[in-house]
Amino acid sequence: LLHSTGKVTIGKLKVSILLDSFILNKTLTENIPKMNTDLFEESMHGNISEVESLLQNGANPNHFSANGFTALHTASELNHGDVVQMLLENGAEPNVMSSDASKITPLGFACNTGNIDIVSRLLKYSADVNLCDEHCISPLYAASRKGNFEIAKLLIQSGADVNKATLEGFKALHTASEFGHIDIVNLLLNNGAAANESLNNGNVSPLYFSSANGHFETVKLLIQFGANVNERTNGHKSIVEDLLKHEANINTSTAQCVSPLYTASQNGHTEIVEYLLQNRADVKRRCVNGNTALHTASERGHLSIVNTLLENGSEINFQSSSGSTPLYYASANGRNETVSRLIQLGADINKSTVTGCSPLHGAADHGHEAVISVLLANGADVNQQTEGGLTALYFAVRKPNIEVVNKLLRHNADVNLCTVQDFSPLHAASELGHLNVVQALIQNGANVNHQSNTGITALYFASSKGRNNIAEYLLRNGADLNIYTVQGFSPLHTACEQGQIEVVKVLLKHNADPFHCTNGGENAFTFTLKKQHFLCLKYTKTWTESLSQFTSIGKLTCVSAMNKRLDEVKIKLFHVIAVNLNNCIQFTMFMLQKFHKFVQMTFDLNLKKNVTISTPDDRHIIIVQDNPVRCKYAST
């Protein structure tokens, strides 16, 4: 039963509606759209006289607006204290939660905006001080986060739970400590807030928040109330000193075993590193990944910290779980001065990771020429190989850094040293399209026809990836275009299959064999038609010359219609550009499907002659001058 009298605003049209003693079933009620009443609109704008008039005429103070709020919500949020009082006096529900996803109360709005007058009015009308929103954020948490001391004090006096947690487990003390609201921290602690309440295995406590944000006074206050001083810090020396004065365990680490010394070394806080070491910090302590403070300082290039750590007993050749040494990290990240210092103090220059990568590999992979110079000058093995057989030169050719490649070559890098799969540096450079690197490798003796264990050559890689300029250079320098893979694929096969038109032109210009077949019996024509890379056939001058050779040796024959019963078979057409043997006019080319036991083929094309061209592998390619619809064949 809905008893309500009021005016409802729909857009700019206002109509008076009298709803009295109408029984509405549940389905109908759910389908009634929510609209902003005049009471909501006037409360939102703080028009107290209009609000009073509407309430006297029976307006419902608990009606929800279109966005899910009551008049009390909007008045509380917008600091209209008199309107809040008027609504409360006329039956507005102080503990009503919004019907939207936030589920916030009028008291929650008031605490967020920091209006103590409205908070007081709501509390006098029995607002629930511990009623939370959808994230379990209480009014006290909101006031503590905003730094509203007087509101926080009033809430606690009214029975607020100081240890009430959000969905994530954070409490008012956490947020007050995070933002350094020391007066609220003190208030909470004096009213029973737990100083040692932590999350995530002790890594997110009020003390952590204060330390991480440099709130020194808050740190001291928390310690006075018994906060666990064995927390990680974040580079604030004064806080570290204060923690140590309270006998903090200096080597306490996070769940990832990251100690204060590691964090300070990583972030370059030299003074803190020195202070921690003076207070017996464990310089050899490892993280979960096996790294020490020296590893991270070397990686970041904090030279002064590297020196300090080594002076205090850090092991220079200590390896992480992946086998990386401080020198490897410094080399891979281009820390030239740190590399020099580590080598000077005895770092093993060729010590490798678990995958066999040396510092020189790391520097070459990232193109750090200056570091490479230091390493080579100090005896790094230029031809050292990883577990997969990769050399520093192989790493370098994959990057377009010719200076690094030339430096390695000048230091006698073996240009033909291959991976375990027998790929050479020339393979890698050809595949990736680094022409200047290809030139440098060949000029320094690279075997241009070296095959991998599957028979792939540098020319094959270049052809497959469309590197026509590299293919041309390789061919001019002795590359054999008729070297095949173990499956019988040629560079022309892969170029046609991948639709690399420019490479096809280069290969045919150098007399690539278009009729060579793979182990599966497929030739360049097959790959072109199968993948529908028809434009590749536009540049088949060499193929035309080959067909002309067939004519001269009698393999081009004219077949007339036979006086036998003929079966008609529909053939799929492939429209391409081909080259006439004599006149270079446009043709339609298609490939016959395989039929069992056929011996001759004829075409009814209204032509004077029908031509069948037989390739050496006995497959048939038919070139005709028109666009046939049907093909007839005579079977045995």
Do residues 445 and 416 touch, judged by C-beta distance below 8 A? yes
Q: Cα(259)–Cα(551) distance, rounded to whole angstroms?
A: 83
Q: Which two tokens stand for residue 506?
A: 């280069």
Q: List b or e across 200-213, with b for residues whose CB sees 16 or more CB atoms inside 10 angstroms.
A: eebebbbbbbbbbb
Question: Which is more confident, 586 or 312?
Answer: 312
At 286 the pLDDT is 87
Do residues 635 and 597 touch, judged by C-beta distance below 8 A? yes
Give the distance from CA 363 to its chain's centroid. Answer: 24
Which residues have C-beta within 8 Å of that of residue 36, sequence separation ≥ 6? 9, 65, 66
Which residues have C-beta within 8 Å of that of residue 324, sequence separation ≥ 6? 291, 295, 353
* Position 500 pLDDT exceeds 70: yes
Confidence of residue 251 (pLDDT cuts 50, 70, 90): low
User: Mean pLDDT over residues 77-88, rounded?
Assistant: 95
Enumerate the β-bridge partners of residue 613: 556, 621
pLDDT in tens, 447-492: 999 999 999 999 999 999 999 999 999 999 999 998 999 999 999 9
Q: 3-state secondary structure string, 355-411? A: CCCCHHHHHHHCCCHHHHHHHHHCCCCCCCCCCCCCCHHHHHHCCCCHHHHHHHHHC
Q: Which two tokens stand for residue 204?
A: 């997110």
At 385 the pLDDT is 97
Which residues have C-beta within 8 Å of that of residue 326, sequence separation ≥ 6? 292, 294, 295, 297, 298, 299, 306, 316, 318, 342, 347
What one-character DSSP code corresponds to residue 536? G
174 to 141, 154, 209, 432, 499: CA distances (angstroms): 9, 19, 7, 54, 63
Summary mean pLDDT of the chain: 76
Question: Which is more confident, 46 or 624?
Answer: 46
pLDDT in tens, 133-151: 999 999 999 999 999 999 9
At residue 615, φ and ψ (nearest 5 deg) are -80, 165
Q: Which residue, among 319, 313, 399, has the nearest Cα to 351 in the 3D structure?
A: 319
Query: Phi/psi zone of residue 290: left (φ > 0), alpha (ψ -120 to 50 degrees), beta?
Result: left
* Position 366 pLDDT exceeds 50: yes
At 14 the pLDDT is 31
* Position 37 pLDDT exceeds 80: yes
User: Mean pLDDT over residues 420-445, rounded?
Assistant: 97
In order of start, what are the domains of the chain with their CATH numbers? 1-128 (1.25.40.20), 415-535 (1.25.40.20), 542-635 (no CATH)
Find the farthest-apart pair of alpha carbons in the chain and give their distance in angstroms, rounded. 114
* Position 55 pLDDT exceeds 80: yes
pLDDT in tens, 342-363: 999 999 999 999 999 999 999 9
* Position 213 pLDDT exceeds 50: yes
Q: Which residue, among 615, 456, 591, has the nearest Cα to 530 in the 3D structure?
A: 591
523 to 113, 491, 494, 517, 595: CA distances (angstroms): 78, 11, 10, 4, 19
pLDDT in tens, 282-331: 888 888 789 999 999 999 999 999 999 999 999 999 999 999 999 999 99
- 158-167, 410-419, 568-577: segment of lowest average pLDDT: 568-577
Percentage of residues of the chain with pLDDT beyond 90: 55
Which residue stretches of 453-500 are H helix? Answer: 458-464, 468-476, 491-497
Rg for the chain, CA atoms, rounded: 41
At 277 the pLDDT is 83
Q: Which residue, among 114, 113, 95, has the nearest Cα to 105 in the 3D structure?
A: 95
At 190 the pLDDT is 93
pLDDT in tens, 519-545: 888 887 777 766 555 555 555 434 444
User: Mean pLDDT over residues 125-129, rounded?
Assistant: 95
At 413 the pLDDT is 97
- 82-91, 102-111, 554-563: segment of lowest average pLDDT: 554-563
Q: Cα(69)–Cα(63) distance, rounded to whole angstroms?
A: 8
| Residue in the block written with tokens 């810090």 | 233
User: Mean pLDDT over residues 95-115, rounded?
Assistant: 93
pLDDT in tens, 381-400: 999 999 999 999 999 999 87
Q: Which two tokens stand for residue 59?
A: 């307006």
* Position 578 pLDDT exceeds 90: no
Confidence of residue 244 (pLDDT cuts 50, 70, 90): low
| Residue in the block written with tokens 């030299």 | 270
At 422 the pLDDT is 96
* Position 631 pLDDT exceeds 50: no
What one-character DSSP code corresponds to residue 591? E
Question: Which is more confident, 371 or 610?
Answer: 371
* Position 132 pLDDT exceeds 70: yes
User: Mean pLDDT over residues 539-553, rounded?
Assistant: 38
